[in-house]
Amino acid sequence: MGVLDELNAGARADMEERRALVGQDELVRRIAALPATRDPLPAFRAPGIAIIAEVKRSSPSKGALAEIADPAALAEAYAHGGADAISVLTEKHRFGGSLDDLAAVRARVDVPVLRKDFITDAYQLYEARAVGADLALLIVASLSDAELAALHATALDLGLTPLVETHTADEVRRAADAGAVLVGVNNRNLNTLEVDIRTFARLAPLVPEGTVLVAESGVRTPEDVRAFAEAGADVALIGEALVTGGDPVAGVRAMKEAVRG
């Protein structure tokens, strides 16, 4: 079993525990009482580079990164630095996250919030919407074509913007076939955890015109942000560099200023 398979299996097991306590009908009732979601695409399409700043305590490749006792305070700092969206890891075993983290972040910031997890079931999308997410990650490598299409449609029905993550040319094709408007190119191979920053530049030309492109993994410096923007990125998703940098406000600001609008 590869790393991604293990992460998917763990996320599904955790989901079933939560579903036994809170059924989908209850999530639907909670969602009905919520305001509309925030649309991230206008900011993502704006001149310059948009930044998704990530609340990330640890990772399978690096282990512990930062304690982050108050994820909402970190998200608020990101927003003050100019982040266009906040990504919150909600997987608990390898990333140390939770849905409580996402709910706390949602209560503190006004920018769109992404649920970043290993989503393979519609229930997880209902959870994301019920705790205040505006976007949800769908990893093409984790899903069949039918599953991807169904989850993409469900996300849209819930008002969520799907960020459809790819790593190969075939996955880019599958994302396009599913109708993805927001496509991430992950420079990290989720089965080996190796990063090749050339992946983005290789795949970006294969993405249909009009798609909003997100560079993921390996974005560590303003120079990296500039290079990915020159290769076609509209958005950079940045976690490790920001949580370990010591000054999240200045860190986000420097990344934003790397590309002038």
Catalogue the active-site residues.
54, 56, 116, 165, 186, 216-217
Q: Give, in order, the Cα–Cα distances in Å from 199 to each of 168, 184, 195, 228, 250.
A: 8, 11, 9, 10, 28
Q: Give, in order, the Cα–Cα distances in Å from 260 to each of 10, 183, 220, 241, 257.
A: 41, 22, 18, 21, 6
Tokens of 55: 């609340």
Q: Across-strand partners of 166?
A: 185
